[in-house]
Structure 1
Amino acid sequence: MSDVEVHGPIDYVLLEFTGNKLTGRAAEEVVSLVDRGIVQVYDVMVVGKNTDGTVYGVDLAEATGEAGSFAALGGARSGILADDDLAEAANAMRPGTLAALIVYENTWAIPFIAAALESGGELVAGGRIPAEDVMEALDALESMESTS
């Protein structure tokens, strides 16, 4: 198994921001995750959707203002994201918003995956529960416990 390159799971997120809510904090946290070796960013694409529905991509090398906060991630271009991904991301967006599409590897999982593979383990299923669903479920449980 040692001659096989092991990777962690690859995820993507599309973070949509309206108005002046893009403060740079999300980009700072992604950079922090990279610096701590928790994730490796493969691709970042910033997409805008005007109120009339027209879509535009933001060149992170030239980005200023709201999109400029993701400029530190501008060098992340593995080729996993293609131009058609910009259109697909825009379809999920509301008019008048700006979004960051980020593809990243969960590098924290590499030692776990390597150990599982070396032990003869095989991934047979996986999935992701959106953070909003988890927070909603925990809030509901907390509400039920407080009324008991």
Structure 2
Amino acid sequence: MDDNPDTTTEELGPVDYVVIEFPAGQQNFTGEVAEELARLSESGVIRVLDLLIISKNADGSVDALEIDDTPAVDEIRALETDIAEVLAAEDVELLAAAMEPGSVAGVLVFENRWAAPFAAAARRAGGQLIANGRIPIQAIAASIEAELALEEGN
């Protein structure tokens, strides 16, 4: 895969974001998340476009830091060269509104580099994305459990 950060939009894979909230009293930061993110980036599966840490204080005030503004673990520091900082202040406000007071959230915007060749080929063929989505793992687990229950009932 091309490691050139100046990849043209024609060559980009699909871009996603995830927001992971760590509620107050349930924050167990061991570095494992950072290690896995670094592994995904280094293997070329994803390219980090933005990484942000949002803290919502008990009084509702919000602090947001780009990863290069924090004393981050070494695994995350290695990703700094790929970070494009695509999130705006308005995005932070919207995300923080969904957070519980006392929580910390990690916001990750990433390119799915594994899908870039397919996406580029589809664009060259005249295709355009008209829908996409994600099925939550909880919905898949519920569907599997329901199917198993049906099989056991027959």
TM-score (normalizing by structure 1): 0.78
Cα distance in 2 between the residues matched to 1:73 and 1:58: 17
More displaced 10-residue stretch of structure 1: 14-23 or 119-128:
119-128
Please say if 1:37 is aligned against 2:59. Answer: no
Change (3 A) 1:139 1:23: farther
Structure 1: segments with no counterpart, 5+ residues: none
Please say if 1:16 is aligned against 2:21. Answer: yes
**Residue 147 of structure 2 is aligned with which of 119, 141, 144?**
141
| Corresponding residue for residue 96 of structure 1 | 102
Share of identical aligned residues, percent? 36
Partner-residue secondary structure (3-state), 1:44: strand
> Partner amino acid for 1:28?
E
> Partner amino acid for 1:34?
S
| Corresponding residue for residue 72 of structure 1 | 77
* Superposition deviation, residue 22 in structure 1: 3.0
> Partner amino acid for 1:21?
N
Partner-residue secondary structure (3-state), 1:123: coil
TM-score (normalizing by structure 2): 0.75
Cα distance in 2 between the residues matched to 1:90 and 1:60: 17
Change (3 A) 1:71 1:122: closer
Please say if 1:112 is aligned against 2:115. Answer: no
- RMSD (Å) for aligned C-alpha atoms: 2.8
